[in-house]
Structures are given as C-alpha cells and as structure tokens.
Amino acid sequence: MIETVYIEEEIQSYPYVQKILEKITPKRIIHCDHYGEIFNRKAQNYSIQKQKPALILAKKPRHFIHETVEKRFGLPSYYFSMLYNCPFACSYCFLQGLYRSANYLFFINYEDFFQELDLFEKGYFYASHDSDALALDRYFHFVPLLIDYFKHHEKKIIELRTKSTDITPLIHREPLKNMIIAYSLNPQTIIQRYEHKTPSLDHRLSSLEKLQKRGWKISLCFDPMIMDPQWKDLYQDVFNKIFETIDPTQIFSATLGSLRFPKSYFKTILKKNRNIFLHSSLYEEKSVFRHPQEELILRITYEQLSRFVPKEIIEIQKGCG
C-alpha cells in the first residue's frame, strides 16, 4: 500500500496522474518542483524506505531508451524503464546499488516515450530494466499501453520480465507475437532465502501456465542462479517441476545466468544488504564480481535444462547489462 505520493508541480493536473491517484488513494500528497529533490537526496535510509516506499510521479525530459551491449536474436537490443524500483525485496537486487532511494519513481509522460520509440525501426526492447514489469501495473496501467503500441509495430519485440503473479493486464488481451513474458524463476528454497516478498514458485508457475494456455509467448529466466550448497539437486528438481505443467515445445527462450554484479554497484549493495552468505564468495574479474564456480553451474544447469528444451533456445548470460 502506498501512503505518500509526491507529484511534480508541472504534471499535477495531467489526467493520467489523476487516474493513478484514484487507484492509490494516498494519505498524503506532496508537491515538488523536480523528482530529483526527493529521489536523489543524499543520506536516505534505503532499508527503512523499502518497508513503506512512497511514490514519486514525474516527467522525464528525454532519453527513455538505451542500447545494451549485446544483441538479442540478431537484433540490436535496448532497455527502458518508466518505473524505477520494485515492491519485491530480493537480496541480490542490483537496484540497491543503483539508487539512493527505495521510493517508486514513475514517469507519466508516456506519449514522449512512444514518440522516442517510433524513432527505432526494429529491435529487442527490455521493458523492465529498473523494476518488475507487472508488479505495480495495477496502479499505472502502462502494460496495456505497451500492448496497444507493439501490436502495430511487429518489427519490434518487447520483453516484460517479471516475478509477479498479477497477470491481469495480459490475460484478457489477445496475445501478441512480438511480446514475450519472461518469468524469473528459482527453486522455492532459493526464493524463500533470497527473493523476499515475491510470489512462491508454485504461484509463478500457475501464472505461467495460464499465460501459455492463453497463447502468450513465454520465456524462462534462471538468472541469477544462486550457489546454494544443494544447488545441483535444487535446479534439477525445479526443471522437473516446471515441465510437469509448462509445455516445453512452446517456450520462446530460456536464460541461464549465475549471480554477478558490476563492480560499480557491488560495494553499495554490500553496505545495504546483510545477507553475507550470498555475496561473500564472489571475486572480481574485469570489473564484475562473479562466483568462482560460475562455469560449473552454467555447464551443469545447461545439461539439465537441455533435456527438456532445445539447446538452440537456451541462452547463457554472463554480462552485466
């Protein structure tokens, strides 16, 4: 529940802002000149804010879309985020290292965003780089806008990455062949230890099954995988479990990646996160902190997963954005 909403003066009368306020019904509305006064303020307590984040509604001047280092399926790939931060609290979340604030920041000028998107003829677009794509969409209704846009722009592929089971924006819509719903998955033991406040594996699988039956293209993301002492059995069991309900012939892609962090965020994440076991065993290599057994976990899980899905659709991720 969001109790406090900050709104930039310039946008307070926008109809989209009013619609969001009707959904949230906050206890406090505070006006500000620029979101940076709240979001980028020094000496914020991230952990305390994370318990009850406020929402900041703002207008982003430009530069919504950024190119990523690696291509996807031969296409140039890009990421964008209309929302910064997320209601879930994964111990490994890189946003802890990226932002001073745990408050939600939502940019409401979606017309400007879509104008910028028009400048790209084709590409693979990640919609949720700085948040979870579905978790708060009940307030913002941005996913339906994406569906409306991408159904008329088939040379562009969009990926919504999520752990959320709130599939309302998708389940009643006609599936798009160029929209991929990518579920982040892990064994339930790992979810309980490290993916706090997220839906259980069973709930995620139930949502995946519904979306797949409805005809949506789905991807499975095991990234980051965590080197729990029992990891080999845990990942084998989770693959077995998933393919009891999910049709392996109808998977768009499956991603494997081990826990890793860019050096620039890692020290800040350590300061904010007391989960020492998770992070203590990583070592630095070319400005990325990695697990010493990264190659092993990727090789073994690749073998395990390729018993269920074609090798051609399995992607190994080692990069950091």
Residue 88 or 239 with smaller CB distance to ligand SF4: 88
The H or E element containing residue 184 is strand 179-184
- For helices 201-214 and 231-245, give the axis angle rounded to 10 degrees: 30
Query: Is residue 24 a contact residue for ligand SF4 (CB under 6 A)?
Result: no
When binding is defined by CB under 6 A, the residue of 95, 208, 221, 254 that contacts ligand SF4 is 95
Q: Is 6 helix (H, G, I), strand (E, B) or coil?
A: strand
Asked if residue 137 lies in contact with residue 166, where contact means CB atoms within 8 angstroms, the answer is yes
Stretch in the footprint of ligand SF4 (CB under 6 A) among 46-54, 87-95, 239-247, 272-280: 87-95
**Residue 93 touching ligand SF4 (CB under 6 A):** yes
Beta-sheet strand order (sheet of 156-162) = 66-67, 77-79, 123-126, 156-162, 179-184, 217-225, 251-258, 314-317
Query: Which residues make beta-bridge pairs with 217?
Result: 180
Instruction: Work out whether 50 is an interface residue with ligand SF4 (CB under 6 A).
Output: no
Q: Is 132 in the site for ligand SF4 (CB under 6 A)?
A: yes
The minimum distance between CB 62 and ligand SF4, in angstroms, equals 24
Neighbours of 9 (CB within 10 A): 10
**258 forms part of the interface with ligand SF4 (CB under 6 A):** no
Contacts of 279 (CB under 8 A, 6+ apart): 92, 266, 269, 270, 273, 289
Per-residue binding string, ligand SF4, 151-180, x by CB under 6 A, is ------------x-----------------
In the bound complex, what is the minimum distance in angstroms from residue 198's beta carbon to ligand SF4? 6
Q: Which is nearer to ligand SF4, 135 or 309 (CB)?
A: 135
Name the residue among 146, 176, 153, 163 with its Cα closest to residue 64: 146
Residue closer to ligand SF4 by CB (options 110, 265) is 265
Return residues touching ligand SF4 (CB under 6 A).
86, 88-90, 93, 95, 131-132, 163
